[in-house]
Amino acid sequence: MCGIVGYIGNKQAVNVICDGLEKLEYRGYDSAGVAVVNGDSKVNWAKKQGRLSGLEAVLEQSPIEGTVGIGHTRWATHGAPSDINSHPHLNMSETIAVVHNGIIENYMEIRERLTAEGYVFKSETDTEVAVHLIDKYYEGDLLQAVYKAVAEFRGAYALGVVSSNHPGELVAVRKESPLIVGVGEGEYFIASDVPAILKYTRNVYYLENDEVVYVKDGKIQILDAEQNVVDKELKVVEWDIEAASKGGYDHFMMKEIYDQPQAIRDTLLRRLDENRMIRLDDIKLTKEDLDGIQKMYIVACGTAYHAGLVGKYAIEKLAKVPVEVDIASEFRYSDPFIDEHTLLIVVSQSGETADTLAAMKLAKSKGARVLAITNVVGSSVAREAHDVFYTWAGPEVAVASTKAYTAQMIAFYMIALDFAFKKGTITLERYHELVNNIEALAPLVEEILADKAQIEKMAEDMKDAQNAFYLGRGVDFTTAREAALKLKEISYIYTEAFAAGELKHGPIALIDQGTPVLSIVTQDALQEKMISNIKEVKARGAFVIAIAKKGDTEIAKVADDLFYIPEAEDLLMPVLAVIPTQLISYYVSIARGNDVDKPRNLAKSVTVE
């Protein structure tokens, strides 16, 4: 998950690196560090546990000069957050420095071997074996030492390497962990994600697995695992740094909540032709292909998994195809039935989620076709998939996903419509009706956001709760699951979602006097059942907050508090119902004094399994 930034050029490296790390702090904020080479006999370095601001304070007191360097912001995997476990890690003579994102799975056996050879380890991390192994193989050629070292690694990693013995060189390696290269005027950058370098350049190389970046004396080479030069296309990033800034909001999360109407419009309208037909240019599935598919899986993690549950509902309802949804980290171990008649749909905001990538590889090895839904052009899932749907949500920086989730749901509605029309399971009239109704969601979301003051009051009433529960039936249960995840991950209130009909089978034992129970009631056919479930929890002392369609007077009779959302057809209600739950999570977190954008123990892009 960690963030890497590297620089070689004519600017002060520390300034460029710290500026880039600030843009990547969503990837990890347990600690931060830099290493710079400037002609001295040793690498100059500084690292500090905690947020980037702590490192910057150290550097202000003791500046480090030089035009070649690497930096890192950490999300702990091996070893607790501490100064010692922070990156960069150095060899014993402090002539080589390494930063690392990912996990070296066989680090213990390498560590034991190196320890027996006299190497002394200071940290608990897997990364330190990398720098000592590079040192072991170093015989005057830094690039060759890196190649020999990584040949022994198993796992996922992105590495940045510098050496005081080679002040004009920068080496970087990508293996299953994101890394891009920025190209400026006489300068080069490496980074885990594009926002880190947009201030300086929008010209980018997207690295593939096993590719090595080698910059020496102002020239760059990209090499493959056999050290052959790779002829890569230089891409231009279309969005600029303003798209990744707060835009006047107090937090990225609130900005991104307000970005959702535009994300809906962009994801849909960019793909409508003059006849208002959906054109999925990066999805080549024909009617014949769809007729040959006997099984569909949707695989994802976290919030993307919840979007997949909505996708299952939409595809089954419209295209009349049975769909299974699985958590990516469990999928490979469930011995799934996959063959050439299988379509695997993977969902990942970053496009770099390690478990999702592993599921893709398994499916492809068995002959399945893979369709990826992602927000990041050039990401690993986009490159590995046969078909791609890009959600045009723009960069999402807050750890808690909001607009990416909404865009993923829109993507699924569009894919379901495309499949259904090709298979002939809906009429052209119904097709256009749904397209119009999806487009109409954007102003309805804006209408909800205009009433956020009421939600802020609800959140104030909930801030001291020890636990809370969400209830829903049908697709509302999916929204409840996403809402519970959002509340627990940024407010730290233990929150669980239950299918409302399951309450009496055990969970109702958890309801106590004053327990907040948030009930999502948007499905007309299930409204009466939900009212019964609300009465059940109220009889046990729960304080019920309901989220329901405007005009639902029956819910008003049983709920203690109520937030109305605009009416849309049941199929599309998850897009509207989730908005107030995002705002509730945000305001409860603020009321409890938490860091909304950087919740404890979490990071944005989960690139480790």
- What the block records as the tokens of 489 is 């991950």
Q: Which residues of 11-28 are buried (b: 16+ CB within 10 A; e: fewer)?
A: ebbbebbbbbbbbbbbbb
- What the block records as the tokens of 602 is 């979490």
Residue tagged active-site, from 2, 23, 175, 452: 2
Residue tagged active-site, from 47, 136, 452, 604: 604
Is 504 one of the annotated active-site residues of the chain? no
C-alpha distances in angstroms, 136 versus 42, 115, 143?
17, 12, 13
Side-chain half-sphere exposure of 508, counting CA atoms within 13 A: 15
Counting beta carbons within 10 angstroms of the beta carbon of residue 578, is it exposed (0 to 12), middle (13 to 18) or buried (19 or more)? buried
CA-based angle 41:47:50, to the nearest 5? Answer: 180
The per-residue DSSP string of 410-460 comes to: HHHHHHHHHHHHHHT-S-HHHHHHHHHHHHTHHHHHHHHHTTHHHHHHHHH
> How far is 71 from 13, CA to CA, in rounded Å?
9
The helix/strand/coil state of 355 is helix
**CA-CA-CA-CA torsion for 576, 580, 581, 584, nearest 10 degrees?**
170
Q: Which residues of 310-335 are buried (b: 16+ CB within 10 A; e: fewer)?
A: bbbbbbeebbebebebbbbbebbeee
Length of the chain (residues): 609
**CA-CA-CA-CA torsion for 525, 527, 533, 538, nearest 10 degrees?**
180
CA-based angle 565:566:568, to the nearest 5? Answer: 120
Is 2 one of the annotated active-site residues of the chain? yes
Longest dimension (CA), the chain: 79
- What the block records as the tokens of 173 is 């390696």
> How far is 198 from 200, CA to CA, in rounded Å?
5
Counting beta carbons within 10 angstroms of the beta carbon of residue 245, is it exposed (0 to 12), middle (13 to 18) or buried (19 or more)? middle
- What the block records as the tokens of 433 is 């009706």
Positions marked active-site:
2, 604
